[in-house]
Amino acid sequence: METREQSILPTEGPRSRPNWASMRSEGFDKKETAFRIVAIERECACGAANISKKLSSVLRWKLWDELLTQELTESMRSDVSGAVIHSHGGHSRFFAMAKVFWRGSYERSSHLGDCCLVDVPHMIAIMRKVSDKIARDGNSVVVGRGIPGFFQDRSDTLRVFLYAPREEKIRRLVANGKHESEIELLEAVDRERGTFVKRYFGADWPTRSYYDLMINTAIGEDNVISTILHTMNRIEDGRRSS
């Protein structure tokens, strides 16, 4: 017998695709919806860029991924002054890890430019300021930069961590015209993120208690999106009935 949990996800395939229009009608176009932000953290090469882009399209919400890097860069440049320029000295490797941490799913093509003049505490403060702006605007899908941690205490935010087995990451790289040897570089980026979070925040990366969902993207991008949407609906239903 099919359980209630098993019936949540649509079957992916050429003859059966998720009914995104139906999912949109389940409450996310209504102003009174409790959720206003989906905050996504992810491992490199797990498909987060495509998934977050699709999800923002389904929800008709603003996507903060590459746009977030641009916003951070502009904010950092505006803060570059004699008061915040610092010499990083022996902490240059640590600072380099911080810059890796701030990039979204466009790690290798993002350039933070003048932010190299802003020290890590100011980077944290700027990230919090930008996060506050996103929270005020609402209706946003936000990717990377430890963003679930900045929205940790918000009841209007669903916090999601996306990951994938090594074989799935290699499959995605090859499908995108890359060589599978690049997986070593991407795994190094994740290790750098973990080192940065441990040293600066004193926490493991990922910190499981930060997230409402942790999803293996090997189940397929559509199923990942369906899981996120159904979870939002279930939580909202529970809040309404309590």
Chain segment 73-125, per-residue pLDDT in tens: 777 767 655 444 454 444 555 556 566 665 554 444 444 454 455 666 777 78
Mean pLDDT across the stretch 131-156? 87
16: pLDDT confidence band, cut at 50, 70 and 90? very low
- 3-state DSSP assignment of residue 129: helix
- pLDDT, residue 216, reads 98
- pLDDT, residue 18, reads 62
Number of other residues whose CB lies within 10 A of the CB of residue 35:
22
pLDDT of 214 over the 90 cut = yes
pLDDT of 170 over the 90 cut = yes
* Separation CA 151–CA 146 (nearest Å): 9
Q: What strands lie across the sheet with 157-163, from one edge to the other? A: 62-64, 140-143, 37-42, 157-163, 213-216
Q: Is the dihedral of CA 210, 153, 236, 229 positive or negative?
A: negative
Q: Is the dihedral of CA 106, 108, 113, 117 positive or negative?
A: positive
pLDDT of 36 over the 90 cut = yes
State pTM to two decimals.
Answer: 0.77
2: pLDDT confidence band, cut at 50, 70 and 90? very low
pLDDT of 48 over the 60 cut = yes
Helix 66-79 and helix 120-137, axial crossing angle in degrees, nearest 10? 130
Side-chain half-sphere exposure of 103, counting CA atoms within 13 A: 20
Fill in the DSSP letter of residue 82. Answer: T
Whether the Cβ atoms of residue 126 and residue 144 lie closer than 8 Å to each other: no
70: pLDDT confidence band, cut at 50, 70 and 90? confident
- pLDDT, residue 4, reads 36
CB under 8 Å to 31, separation ≥6 — which residues? none
- pLDDT, residue 138, reads 94
Domains of the chain: 33-241 (3.40.50.300)
- 3-state DSSP assignment of residue 154: coil
- pLDDT, residue 79, reads 64
Q: Where are the beta strands (DSSP E) in 134-236?
A: 140-143, 157-163, 213-216
- pLDDT, residue 95, reads 59
213: pLDDT confidence band, cut at 50, 70 and 90? very high
* Separation CA 106–CA 63 (nearest Å): 13
**Maximum Cα–Cα distance across the chain:** 68
Fill in the DSSP letter of residue 8. Answer: S
Q: Tell me which H or E stretch contains 199.
A: helix 183-201
Q: Tell me which of 59 and 191 has the higher pLDDT.
A: 59
* Residue the block writes with tokens 């189940």: 219
